[in-house]
Copies of this chain bind each other. A is one copy, B any other.
């Protein structure tokens, strides 16, 4: 027992292999890892320099054993054991779906995604990559959408330092041979994100190539080999989420059934069942398919209004991440010139709908470094406010925010009778009358209230408490009909928390609202 690996950390076995013509294709390494009844079959990969590797993310503490198998004697029957210890304090395991619509780390800690987007930051200069990591560290973001492949598009015409295949740029590739250095670099940066506590929402295909390099139009067998290779390399990284594609439906060379096949390959080759989704252009993938863990959605319109945003939640009954909702910035495209206020507002509307929203930033700068693709430095006004939102979410109910009365009063979210967020958006009332939709309420429940200014990032406690009294068939109010005075500014929210012991509810919540 040579290594001490932590739970959800990464164990790696490596060995040299046989002399073969093409080690990416002509030799295979696999390994079985086991502990008691638990057993995982894990695929290895060729990493250049005659090194074969296999990686494992141990899901439990204690002693794990392994034995390799392979296509050649050199790869077979390597055995070993290693002890897995408790995770370090920052390690909560991979993120999983929790409470149907939400997320939690494997150790149960709730995970509230406040994601951003730097599509091709790993393809920029070393200095710029370092700057991006520095910016992320100072930001509230805990998820990053990023592409494996480089991007050839407006504001993105730079050739990267590394390519995923052997060959000659821009488009003479030997698709039979991967470039291990490319993937090693990608891994270094995914680990750098991990060190910052950031989930890596990794985009496996995208259309912004347009045949320049041709990674958007590889042969089916190359696509499949690429998926096998990258899942073998990265499945043991606990902060990886698979995003099959960005705007998959804009990849005209692919057919709908190709995407189903890609999902199958990823699911079959990922022993650790990472979160897995696919992001749309104009045509939604069927996120009800069982291999989709959560819906990754482009739709800026939906999150301008919680009553819009909630609709996909109901359609899919999975976590909804609106991770492309148009960007904060000033480029002359209608997808890239939101104000900071509007970006933050969209996060709040999505949040109140019980869904999650993603950030991006497109300021047209002299250096042509737009955060949205290249990373670098954040210039917008929204990130600080998204940090405030994250704090609100982290202080909120572990089970997540649920719409309280989705069709009639979409501005109420929380856990009925225990916790409410009421978001007032662009409205500027001078007071808010204490009033709650009836779900799970009864007379005499006591609440304390705070006023949240989501733009100025303040929390103002309201003096005294409020006691519920039924007013009519659908509403409870304060028994003294008290209101809360407001500043008259937009972007305000109320936070109401029940005073006293939490009550368990067994009745059917949904019927209580009819």
Contact = CB atoms under 8 A, between A and B. Distances in A.
Contacts of A410: 301
Contact of A311 (B249, B308, B510, B513): B308
Given A282-B510, A334-B474, A510-B281, A301 B312 contact: no
Contact of A301 (B299, B301, B406): B406
A403 B406 CA distance: 25
A108 B340 CA distance: 50
Contact of A510 (B249, B299, B508): B249
A90 interface: no
Interface stretch (A62-70, A193-201, A283-291): A283-291
A83 B474 CA distance: 61
B473 A299 contact: no
Contacts of A314: 283-284
Interface string A290-312: 00000000011110010110011
A1 interface: no
A407 interface: yes
- In the complex, which of the residues A282, A287, A300, A513 has the most CB atoms of chain B within 10 Å of its own CB atom? A282
B301 A407 contact: yes
- Judged by DSSP, the binding face of A is loop
Contacts of A288: 286, 288-289
Interface in A349-408: 406-408
Contact of A508 (B252, B286, B406, B408): B252
Contact of A299 (B252, B312, B316, B407): B407
A283 B510 contact: yes
A307 B408 CA distance: 17
Given A282-B510, A288-B286, A408 B311 contact: no
Contacts of A301: 307, 406-408, 410
Contacts of A282: 510-511, 513
A332 interface: yes
Contacts of A300: 407
A335 B514 contact: yes
User: How many copies of this kind of chain does the complex include?
Assistant: 2
A503 interface: no
A141 B56 CA distance: 63
A262 interface: no
B305 A305 contact: yes
B283 A408 contact: no
Contact of A315 (B308, B315, B333, B510): B315
Nearest to A250: B511
Contacts of A406: 301
A103 to B, nearest CB: 21
Contacts of A317: 283-284
Contacts of A513: 282
Nearest to A333: B473
Interface in A257-297: 281-284, 286-289
A277 to B, nearest CB: 14
Nearest to A207: B511
A348 B288 CA distance: 29
Interface in A403-453: 406-408, 410
A113 to B, nearest CB: 21
Contacts of A508: 252
Nearest to A509: B282
Contacts of A252: 508
Nearest to A295: B315
Contacts of A316: 315
Nearest to A326: B407
Nearest to A407: B301
A285 to B, nearest CB: 10
A316 B283 CA distance: 10
30 contacts: A250-B510, A252-B508, A281-B510, A281-B511, A282-B510, A282-B513, A283-B510, A284-B314, A284-B315, A286-B288, A287-B315, A299-B407, A301-B407, A301-B408, A302-B311, A305-B305, A305-B307, A305-B308, A307-B308, A308-B308, A308-B311, A311-B312, A311-B315, A312-B315, A315-B316, A332-B473, A333-B473, A334-B408, A334-B473, A335-B514
Interface of A: 249-250, 252, 281-284, 286-289, 299-302, 305, 307-308, 311-312, 314-317, 332-335, 406-408, 410, 473-474, 508, 510-511, 513-514
Given A284-B317, A308-B311, 16 more contacts: A249-B510, A250-B510, A252-B508, A281-B511, A283-B510, A299-B311, A300-B407, A301-B406, A301-B410, A302-B311, A305-B307, A308-B308, A311-B315, A315-B315, A332-B473, A335-B514
